[in-house]
Amino acid sequence: MNKNRMMIGVRLAIVGVMVLSAMSSAQAEDQVNSVTGVAQSSGLMLEAGKPDRLNFTFGGQVTAWLSPSGEWRLEGNIPHSGLLCGTYQVGLRFGVGNPGCTDVQWLTEDPSYVTRELQCNNASAFHSGGDSQPALAENYARISCAERLILCSGTCK
């Protein structure tokens, strides 16, 4: 009887190692979710005939704006499904594209991530952050698109 208990213990240990291994390999890869938004003028114009800022909406969850100086800000709720935790980062990049933001030429290859939140237990979290990228000021009049990116590591759903 003692030998049977020992065999059961060994089998349970093997199953436990397999489950932990599967979980860690599933969590090893970062996941990126992106949505592109079309620039909308704020309605107020500067002396040079440019809008005082460009507004962007991404799937109803996140909004952002960009000013002529290259300063930008984003905010919105990011949902998380599942009990296990994931770390979510939200970022933006800006570009010039056709109407509807097809065939976009991104002005920066890599997005600038400005928030980082650990989310667990089916909870949404409000993300808010911004950056100042003076290089965007040079292209402000041409910018027609932005891409909101969510980078998640851990258990992401």
Q: How many residues does the chain have?
A: 157
Give pLDDT, residue 30.
86
What mean pLDDT value characterizes the chain?
Answer: 82
CATH, domain range 29-154: 2.60.40
pLDDT digits (tens, 9 = 90+) for 25-65: 344 478 889 999 998 886 665 555 566 899 999 988 899 99
pLDDT digits (tens, 9 = 90+) for 115-153: 999 999 999 999 999 999 999 999 998 999 999 999 999
Q: Element (H or E) spanning 107, and its range?
A: none
Q: How far apart are CA 78 and CA 95, in angstroms?
A: 23
Helix (H, G, I), strand (E, B) or coil at 38: strand
Query: With 0-12 CB in 10 A as exposed, 13-18 as middle and 19+ as buried, what is 31?
Result: middle
For residues 39 and 144, is the Cβ–Cβ distance under 8 A?
A: yes
Beta bridge partners of residue 55, listed in sequence order: 40, 65
103: left (phi over 0), alpha (psi -120 to 50) or beta: left
Q: Element (H or E) spanning 111, and its range?
A: none
For residues 76 and 139, is the Cβ–Cβ distance under 8 A?
A: no
Query: With 0-12 CB in 10 A as exposed, 13-18 as middle and 19+ as buried, what is 93?
Result: buried
